[in-house]
A and B are shown apart, each in its own frame.
Chain A
Amino acid sequence: MDSADFADSVRLDAAEWDRRGAVPAKVIWTMAQAGFLATDLPARYGGCDRTQAGLGELCADLGGVCSGLRGLVTVQGMVAAAVLRWGTVDQRVRWLPGLARGELLAGFAATEPCAGSDLSAVTTSVVPERGGLRVRGNKVWITFGQLAHVFLVLAELAGRPVAVLVESDRPGTVVEPVQGQLGMRAAQLADVRFDGVLVPPENLIAPPGFGLSHVVGTALDHGRFTVAWGCVGMAEACLRHAATHAANRKQGEVRLAGHQAVRALLGRCLADASTARNQCAHATELRQRAAPEAVVETVLAKYVAARVASAVSERAVQIHGAAGCAEDSPVARFFRDAKVMRIIEGSDEVAEQHLGEYALRWRP
């Protein structure tokens, strides 16, 4: 199934999902059957060998309908990317096919109450003992944490960063739903506590010391890319909504679109949305050929696209007037979601630090 067709088929349901705080299980299953989950995995591990461009378009299509749908692709893709890149062959065979089929839903558990932008400060611990590894700690803001069968957990082992997979049905894993947050309300977020959960040693991904820089680094890089394209889709959807509203809505004898001020807003939206798409396309091309600067250019793309989604959705709400404030208004929902996009997967401020360092490389 084409992702654009799928997105169209559920467009009108997204408001209800946001209100209820969940994407229906049937829809998740449809996405899995359509090959949207962990879709860029190689076919030999159950994926669809989707190109970076194809992954981007998928995320744009989904992001223009519901951030929750795009969020599912993001978390599944992040964890799959980390296991693909840094797992042993046995680990890839063990985990990747289930992730691609959607039989195993994944959660990315890095953030803690005291460690968000600074993931080196995580205190979740992994202690080797007889029979395996004992995991203890608290993780927050896990997208689709309510549904995840397995979490990729960032922790420390003897003071060195590690990444370990923890299945949600292991004794001691306590999932607490998060509700009522500003955005991504359909993404079934959860806080998860690991109360001395025992996992086998083979659940460790990569040696201690590489859990943050390499395993979580690869996951975050993948996440930034899918979030960036999701923001492109969101901005373009907001522009379409706003243009439609402006073309149809009349006050007095004048259509909104007849006002210079409204056309100017739409023009700025178009310039911004186009910029975001082109920036993401550039990152896509670099990623496709594995250029070394692909990582920092993905940071740039996400930074640009999130700010564009925020600006365009804000203007879209303004153009809609009171209609843009209604409970089920798509642009109102995107306005809230877009703000969240500027905070997650590398906040604006963290991105600016990386981009500033990148800019300093351009000195003669």
Chain B
Amino acid sequence: MAGQRPSEVEITVDKVVEDLRVFFSQALTGNVPGPDEDYFAQGLVNSLLALELVAHVEWRFGVSVEVEDLDLDNFRTMNRIAEFVRKKRSVPLP
């Protein structure tokens, strides 16, 4: 059901946002949030989905979410997650 784990594919900010768009369009039956919309504030993400989002980001982008990373600023929008992943992987901006 989930996409393939990228191995050699370079991960750019755009690819992260696009992947998350697919993730949310599958997980949410209603409107998919825009890349700068706070889906937590909008109440779109329940606690089960919050954990699944963490697991998805780790698995898909090969990063590890530690307690030090637990800051809503890292997760509250797709663009913020992309930036978080970029920093963790030190991938240059496209």
Residues of A within 8 A of B (CB): 86-88, 119, 206-207, 209-210, 212-214, 216-218, 221, 290-296, 299, 354, 357, 360-362
Given known contacts A207-B71, A209-B72, A357-B29, A293 and B51 CB-to-CB distance under 8 angstroms? no
**Which residues of B are found within 8 Å of A362, using beta-carbon distances?**
1
A210 touches B70 (CB 8 A): yes
A294 touches B55 (CB 8 A): yes
Q: Which of A87, A354, A361 interacts with B48 by CB under 8 Å?
A: A354
Pairs A-B, 5 closest by C-beta atoms: A213-B50, A292-B56, A213-B47, A292-B55, A217-B51
**Which residues of B are found within 8 Å of A361, using beta-carbon distances?**
1, 26-27
A207 touches B70 (CB 8 A): yes
Given known contacts A290-B58, A291-B2, A292-B56, A217 and B50 CB-to-CB distance under 8 angstroms? yes
Contact with A along B24-57 (1 / 0, CB 8 A): 0011010000000000000000011011101110
A206 touches B56 (CB 8 A): no
B9 nearest CB across to chain A (Å) = 18
Residue of A nearest to B23 (CB): A292
B3 nearest CB across to chain A (Å) = 10
**Which residues of B are found within 8 Å of A292, using beta-carbon distances?**
2, 52, 55-56, 59-60
B48 touches A299 (CB 8 A): yes
**Which residues of B are found within 8 Å of A293, using beta-carbon distances?**
1-2, 52
**Which residues of A are found within 8 Å of B93, using beta-carbon distances?**
none
CB < 8 Å A-B pair total: 59
User: With A and B bound together, what is the CA distance between A160 and B2 in angstroms?
Assistant: 31
User: With A and B bound together, what is the CA distance between A314 and B59 in angstroms?
Assistant: 41
B6 nearest CB across to chain A (Å) = 14
Residues of B within 8 A of A (CB): 1-2, 26-27, 29, 47-48, 50-52, 54-56, 58-60, 67-68, 70-72
Q: Which of B52, B59, B68, B71 interacts with A296 by CB under 8 Å?
A: B52
A302 nearest CB across to chain B (Å) = 12
**Which residues of B are found within 8 Å of A209, using beta-carbon distances?**
72
Residue of B nearest to A362 (CB): B1
**Which residues of B are found within 8 Å of A291, using beta-carbon distances?**
2, 55, 59
Kindly name the residue among A218, A295, A354, A360 whose own CB sees the greatest number of chain B CB atoms within 10 A: A295
A214 touches B70 (CB 8 A): yes
B55 touches A290 (CB 8 A): yes
Given known contacts A206-B67, A207-B70, A209-B72, A217 and B55 CB-to-CB distance under 8 angstroms? no
A295 touches B67 (CB 8 A): no
B67 touches A87 (CB 8 A): yes
A295 nearest CB across to chain B (Å) = 5
A214 touches B59 (CB 8 A): no
Q: List 12 A-B contacts (CB under 8 A).
A: A87-B67, A206-B67, A207-B67, A207-B71, A213-B47, A290-B58, A294-B55, A295-B48, A295-B51, A295-B52, A357-B27, A361-B1
